[in-house]
Structure 1
């Protein structure tokens, strides 16, 4: 599958006349809890020729290349990427920290060096808290629940707790977040339930249901309050455009 994806990326570069500077896996495969039938969520960042950015008619800043049962491939233009970095877009930070990389370049390595300067703990906490709350309320209240939604909610909460504890961007991998969050003895029962559920999740189809796990629901609800309290105590920091503009000028040369 890696060879197929790499070939798709070459096709995109040739047909769209772009250069891809980063291509990664962004979904459950990168998070570490994919089902046997999970698709491949391939995301990329690209640069066009300099003259394309000087046109009076603005060019589209997204390429949606393929979406089927196996492959979901799309990417962002570098200008869109830098604007989102200025806003501390958590999705972009996840792409840049994905453990599954299909392609990366020197241009991306320079971009990655800018990430810490544009990381906002407060904005990121709001993002992960809202993701966890939405997932919980829409999918984890009934007696029968979509198994994968537990991991969506838990991963978002673990990422938020990581930010609270370390004040840095969290890793993508669920296992790293789990190890950090549940290393205290008081969370042993929660960890046991998560490990049991994870064992089922990676063997069952993506859309399957299972029984609600009460101890996990209680844990999730308790941590909503913890994250909300932490957000109220954080002062957001301001960013400047200067270094992003310099990077943009350089990459277009």
Structure 2
């Protein structure tokens, strides 16, 4: 599948006249609990040619294949690809956007070129905002908890989809750093041995066996844990007062360097034109 994904990446570059800087897995495969028929949730960062940025109008800064955008080769139905234009990604990393930070932590990288992503990774911890990230993860948990945990039965997948952000927030509380993307690493570090950890191991086993759509009788100790952690983490986030330096100047420079590195020839042609 990786070869097919790289072929699609190359075709996106040709069809949309962009350069893709980075592409990774971002869903259950990256989290470590895919089922047999899990989608490939490929996420990428790309940059346009310099002329694209010389406009008074704001343009669409997302490519979604095959949901909204097409490419001129067939795509495997299990592949879902979505990418953010570089300046959008840099604005989001300035806010410590957790989905973007997770992309950069992914252990399944399909494609990487040029030096831009390495420079972003050097900056990410420096401008990491624990408050923003904890709020994001807590809101994920509250939304899923409200929508899927009120009945007597709950889908296995939904349990894992709330436990992962809760443990990610707990990691931030413990280490004041970007949490790892792999769920098992979070569990091993943050969940003590015992009945609670055994319940999580059973959920993982069922999910990997392809039973994610099955309904599990509501696990009361998990529901109680979620109630307690939502309240605790919201209180903890309010107590934080970390000063984050404004990285805008560094991010502007990073973008300009990317343009020069990737589109040096096109920039040279722009400089030769008569205006």
Query: What is the TM-score when the length of structure 1 is the normalising length?
Result: 0.94
Aligned residues: 250
Residue equivalent to 1:73: 81
**TM-superposed deviation, 1:215:** 1.6
**TM-superposed deviation, 1:29:** 0.7
Q: What is the alpha-carbon distance in structure 1 between the residues aligned to residue 179 and residue 234 of structure 2?
A: 18
Aligned: 1:244 with 2:274? no
Q: How does 1:1-253 map to 2 (within 5 A)?
A: 1-67=1-67, 69-105=77-113, 106-182=115-191, 184-185=192-193, 188-240=194-246, 241-253=248-260
> Residue 43 of structure 2 contacts residue 81 of structure 2 at CA under 8 Å; is this kept in 1?
yes
SS in 2 for 1:20: strand
- State the superposition RMSD in angstroms: 1.4
> Residue 190 of structure 1 contacts residue 219 of structure 1 at CA under 8 Å; is this kept in 2?
no
Structure 2: where are the runs of 5+ without partners? 68-75, 261-275
Q: What is the alpha-carbon distance in structure 2 between the residues aligned to residue 58 and residue 234 of structure 1?
A: 35
> Residue 159 of structure 1 contacts residue 177 of structure 1 at CA under 8 Å; is this kept in 2?
yes
Q: What is the alpha-carbon distance in structure 2 between the residues aligned to residue 75 and residue 4 of structure 1?
A: 17
Q: What is the alpha-carbon distance in structure 1 between the residues aligned to residue 235 and residue 56 of structure 2?
A: 47
**TM-superposed deviation, 1:69:** 4.6
> Residue 38 of structure 1 contacts residue 206 of structure 1 at CA under 8 Å; is this kept in 2?
no
Q: What is the alpha-carbon distance in structure 1 between the residues aligned to residue 137 and residue 20 of structure 2?
A: 28
Q: What is the alpha-carbon distance in structure 1 between the residues aligned to residue 234 and residue 58 of structure 2?
A: 40
Runs (4 or more) in structure 1 with deviation over 4 Å come to none
Q: What is the alpha-carbon distance in structure 1 between the residues aligned to residue 52 and residue 196 of structure 2?
A: 53
**TM-superposed deviation, 1:206:** 4.1
Query: What is the TM-score when the length of structure 2 is the normalising length?
Result: 0.87
Q: What is the alpha-carbon distance in structure 2 between the residues aligned to residue 5 and residue 98 of structure 1?
A: 16
Q: What is the alpha-carbon distance in structure 1 between the residues aligned to residue 126 and residue 50 of structure 2?
A: 26
Structure 1: where are the runs of 5+ without partners? none
Q: What is the alpha-carbon distance in structure 2 between the residues aligned to residue 143 and residue 125 of structure 1?
A: 28
Q: Between Structure 1 and Structure 2, whose CA radius of gyration is higher?
A: 2
**Higher deviation after alignment, 26-35 or 56-65:** 56-65
**TM-superposed deviation, 1:141:** 2.3
